[in-house]
Amino acid sequence: MSPRRRFCPSVLLALTLAALVGGGTRTEAQVTQTGDAFTLAAAGYLQFDLRAFPGWDVTPGEGRVSRDTVEVRRARIGVEGRWRRASFEVSLDAQDTDGKFVKDAYLQLRLSPRLQMRAGQFKVPGTRDYDGSARNLELLERTPLTTSLGVGRDIGARIDARLGRVRYDIGLFAGDGVGRDDRAGITLAGRVVIDLPSSLELGGSVSRAKTKSTDTDPANGSSFLSTSGYRFADGVYVQGMRLRTGVDLEWAPGRWRLIAEALRLHDDRREQGLDREDLPAALGTGFSLTVVRRLRTRRDASGNSVVNALLRRPVDLAARYDYLSVDDVNGATVLDSVRPRAIDIRARATHALTLGSTWSANRWLKVLGNASLEHFTDARSAPEANRTGAYLTLGARLQVEWP
């Protein structure tokens, strides 16, 4: 196991016991200065993951599979403050996969009840999946379209506004993901969400940036990771315009939730040929469909016993289908290749079905379980040669939150 993911089991056990003992109570470290309406609150969460890759001829945690069999996935802690119309947030995570110790560090100013401005480091407007907190995931990992094609956190400024049923964010950033090998230059990004009747939301996102490659550096295009974290396509050299366009919807009737999302990444490859000629633009496409059902809890459970208290806690069942592909804008030729300056990028894709459940034992403790089955369209890029399908990944997570 890499040093970044080492953890202390005694610390995890202590936090778990504290969560169980805490039950439904909620405590919050808060300082309030009533005269100036100043508030300060601390919060955080720890995610401890177990994974199994039965039948895989690969080494987890390195090389082609990014996830370890045992790891602390996130160890997030932060502080939020508010004074009059101003607020701020600073959050840290020593376990973050992209090496950013500082996650969020921004100042926000409320200009009116429907308009606010934010500046600092935070999430670039992007997919619906990425817009939500990692502490609220129904499944262990975000969708492959988010992790492979989407934006990340970066330094910039953003305006958030609401006009009737329409909410939108638009911002200008120094890049599209601090700490990433595929980071672009100055990025303009926006997201819009329309609230419709019958618990329906429609959303869309777009970002535009410039990329520039350097021969002595690794390829600066996006790598493609499947649901399990297996890298089935490496990045290529890109230069020119980078354009992301996405659409999504969420429908939440009663105990059901349905989320659908699609994202397209277009990367120019100007002067990336062996003789500095332009190559066909690289193209990444992703789609996901998630269905979540909250089960009825035992409201008839009586008494003060621990068992009865746990039976009253919510349980969610989730199923998600993911599709992710890489290609270029031209059709297939006999020259298709996986090289970083390929004239014809070999078309490859992955399909995955993931089933999972989430049990919230109390306000402090959450348990998740997942099972994913993956299929790859290109046998040469699959984990094992000449075997494209039936790759099973099992996972479980213990999440401890505070407050």
| pLDDT for res 299 | 59
| pLDDT for res 94 | 86
60-92 per-position pLDDT tens digit: 988 799 899 999 999 999 999 999 999 999 999
Q: Which of 42-46, 59-63, 272-276, 310-314 has the lowest mean pLDDT?
A: 310-314
Burial environment of residue 316 by CB neighbours within 10 A (0 to 12, 13 to 18, 19 or more): middle
Three-state secondary structure readout of the chain:
CCHHHCCCHHHHHHHHHHHHHHCCCCCCEEEEECCCCEEEEEEEEEEEEEEECCCCCCCECECCECCCCEEEEEEEEEEEEEECCEEEEEEEECCCCCCCCEEEEEEEEEEECCEEEEEEEEECCCCHHHHCCHHHCCCCCCCHHHHHHCCCEEEEEEEEEEECCEEEEEEEECCCCCCCCCCCCCEEEEEEEEEECCCEEEEEEEEEEEECCCCCCCCCCCCEECCCCEEEECCCCCEEEEEEEEEEEEECCCCEEEEEEEEEEEEEECCCCCCCCCEEEEEEEEEEEEEEEECCCCCCCCCCCHHHHHHCCCEEEEEEEEEEEEEECCCCCCCEECCCCCCEECCEEEEEEEEEEEEECCCCEEEEEEEEEEEECCHHHCCECCECCCEEEEEEEEEEEEC
| pLDDT for res 303 | 54
With a cut of 80, say whether residue 23 has pLDDT above it.
no
**Interval 44-51 mean pLDDT:** 96
With a cut of 60, say whether residue 259 has pLDDT above it.
yes
- Per the prediction, the chain carries an average pLDDT of 89
Q: What are the φ and ψ backbone dihedral angles of 13, each rounded to 5 degrees?
A: -65, -40
**Interval 42-58 mean pLDDT:** 94
With a cut of 80, say whether residue 306 has pLDDT above it.
no
**Interval 360-389 mean pLDDT:** 94
6: confidence class by pLDDT, cuts 50, 70, 90: very low
| pLDDT for res 83 | 95
| pLDDT for res 310 | 58
* DSSP-assigned beta bridge partners for residue 56: none
